[in-house]
Structure 1
Amino acid sequence: MKPFCFADGKIIPTETATIHPTDLGLIRGYGIFDFFRTVNYQPLFLEHYLDRFIASAEKTYLPLEYSREELRQIIAAVIEKNDLQQGGIRMVLSGGVSENHFSPATGKLFMYAESLMFPSEEKYQNGIKLLTLEHVRAIADIKTTNYTLPVWHSVNWKRLGAEDVLYHWNGLVSESSRSNFFMVKDGTIHTPDQHILHGITRKHLIQVADQVIIRPIRLEEVWEADEAFISSTTKVLLPVTQLDDRKIGNGKSGKITLDLLEKFRVLEKKTIS
């Protein structure tokens, strides 16, 4: 965590930021957030993240008392104050202090800066393991702060040699706990269309890929996939080479996966330059 954040309408030392003990974000786990990277002091794909954050506030009935331009100015101030050349900015809007301790209220906006560490190069080269988990995330198209199940479940991941989970429900896969999911079969990339957060990295990977089919994907298809990977802001694109105790494809990072990673890195450079 970097030393300065935005809270209570101003830039303050991060350690002094507070939230009311009856805020719904604390007592009900109700709130929204978003997270984006900075590259050479510039927010990467900022307008897309602001689109999602503003839409999430509307969908969760949380008043956002700042305009898009004011949000841009706050972000710029947080980046400058923290000298955040490379890192991350987290935007959080809490559920607010509700009269009945349940209904959405006027929440509190926080913006704070974080150091950012990508997965090791070994994980990009060798891939990662996911665990199947029967679950569908509530209101998946909204980036809420409720991660109770995966946080609880993550206690087992390290013991089982896994990086994360792959959610499935009624035979269909959706996403990982913090990432979107893709699979490759016969040279074509496929990604689920239901019960997912529409990730910004996912959006741009689809843009730079030659072809991506967006459709329902059955769990059985993943077992038979040639390649698989997950995508997120903090991982970009991470190959998946094992699901539970079964290898995906030949158990190695696939060519299509790694080629797409390079295409995204080229896009990133163009966006910032």
Structure 2
Amino acid sequence: MKPFCFADGKIIPTESATIHPMDLGLIRGYGIFDFFRTVNQSPLFLEHYLDRFITSAEKTFLPLPYSREQLREIISVLIEKNDLTNGGLRMVLSGGVSENHFSPAEGKLFIFAESLSLPSEEKYQNGIKLLSLEYVRAIADIKTTNYTLPVWHSVNWKRLGAEDVLYHWNGWVSESSRSNFFIVKNGVLHTPDQHILLGITRKQILGIAKNVVIRPISLEEVWEADEAFISSTTKILLPVTQLDERKIGSGRPGPVTLDILEKFRKLERETVA
């Protein structure tokens, strides 16, 4: 965590940030957040992240007492004060302290600057393993702070050699715990359309990829896919070469996946140029 954050309506030392112990974010796990990267001190795809954060606040009935322009200004100051060349910024809006300790109230806005390490090059070159998990994330279209199940389940991941999970329900896959999911079959890219967070990286991939189909995808189709990958702000695009104990395709990152990864990296360079 970097030395300065935004809390209590001003820029303060990060170590001084506090939250009320009866805030719904703490006692009920109710709140929203968003996270984006900085590249060469430029916030990458910032307007898209602000769109989602503002919309999440509206959908969760949490007052956001700052305009888009004010949020931009706060973010700009934090990047400069923390000398955040290549890192991350985390916006958090808590559920607030309510009279009945249950209903959404006026929450507290935090914006933290963070150091950030992308996955190792080995993972991009060799791919990763996911574990299938029968689960549907609650109100998946909102980026809430409720990650109880994957945090609990993650204790097993390292032991089983996995990077993350792949959620599925009634035979249909949706997403990973912190990433969107894609498969490739016969050169065509497919990605689920239900029970997912509409990722910003996913949005960019849909814009640069060719032959994309957005539709329900069965777990059986994942087993039979030629390639698969996950996408997120902190991972960009990671090839998935194994699900549970079964290989996907050749068990190596495929050409369509690697081509999209290169196109995304080019887009990133052009966006912050």
Cα distance between partner residues in 2 of 1:86 and 1:263: 20
Residue 103 (structure 1) shift: 0.1
Distance 1:268 1:211 in 2: 21
**CA-CA distance at 1:174 after TM superposition:** 0.1
How much does 1:17 deviate? Answer: 0.2
Cα distance in 2 between the residues matched to 1:11 and 1:137: 34
Q: 2:171 maps to which residue?
A: 171
Counterparts of 1:82 and 1:24 in 2: how far apart (Å)? 29
Could you say which residue in structure 1 is the equivalent of 2:27? 27
Q: TM-score if structure 1 supplies the norm length? A: 1.00
Q: Is 1:51 aligned to residue 54 of structure 2?
A: no
Q: What is the DSSP-based 3-state SS (H/G/I as helix, E as strand, rest coil) of the residue aligned with 2:89?
A: strand
Task: Tell me the residue number matched to 2:119.
Answer: 119
Aligned-CA RMSD value: 0.4
- Return structure 1 stretches of 4+ with deviation > 4 angstroms: none
Q: SS state of the match for residue 176, structure 2?
A: coil
Tell me the SS of whatever aligns to 1:50: helix
Which residue matches 1:255? Answer: 255
Output the amino acid matched with 1:123. K
Equivalent-residue separation in structure 2 for 1:28 and 1:67 (angstroms): 27
Alignment correspondent of 2:73: 73
Shift of 1:66: 0.2
2:272 match: 272
Given the alignment of the two structures, is residue 85 of structure 1 paired with residue 64 of structure 2, yes or no? no
For 1:151-162, list aligned pairs within 5 A. 151-162=151-162
Determine the C-alpha separation between the residues in 1 that align with 2:29 and 2:271: 35
Distance 2:23 2:161 in 1: 36
Matched, 1:61 2:66: no
Which is worse superposed, 58-67 or 263-272?
Answer: 263-272
Matched residue type, 2:163? E
Give the letter for the 2:124 counterpart.
Y
CA distance in 1, matches of 2:77, 2:145: 24
Equivalent residue, structure 2, for 1:206: 206
Could you tell me which residue of structure 2 aligns to residue 224 of structure 1? 224
2:136 maps to 1:139: no
Letter of the 1:46 counterpart: L
1:240 corresponding residue in structure 2:
240
Q: Which one-letter code corresponds to 2:89 in the other structure?
A: I
Residue 217 of structure 2: SS of its match in structure 1? Answer: coil
Offset, 1:170: 0.9
- Tell me how far apart the structure 1 counterparts of residues 265 and 7 of structure 2 sit (CA, whole Å): 33
Please state if 1:6 is matched with 2:6. Answer: yes
What is the number of residues matched between the two proteins? 273
Q: Which one-letter code corresponds to 1:28 in the other structure? A: R
Tell me how far apart the structure 2 counterparts of residues 211 and 88 of structure 1 sit (CA, whole Å): 31
Matches of 1:69 and 1:141 in 2, distance apart?
24
Structure 1: 5+ residue stretches without partners: none
TM-score by length of 2: 1.00
Distance 1:26 1:211 in 2: 44
Looking at structure 2, the residues matched to 29 and 90 of structure 1 have their Cα atoms a distance apart, in angstroms, of: 17
How many angstroms does 1:244 deviate by?
0.1
Counterpart of 2:102? 102
Distance 1:36 1:139 in 2: 21
Structure 2: stretches of 5+ with no match in the other structure: none
CA distance in 1, matches of 2:270, 2:83: 22
CA distance in 2, matches of 1:199, 1:211: 19
Give the 5 Å matches for 1:184-195. 184-195=184-195
What one-letter code is carried by the residue in structure 2 that aligns with 1:255? P
Deviations 1:18-49 (A, max 9, x none): 00000000000000000000011110000000
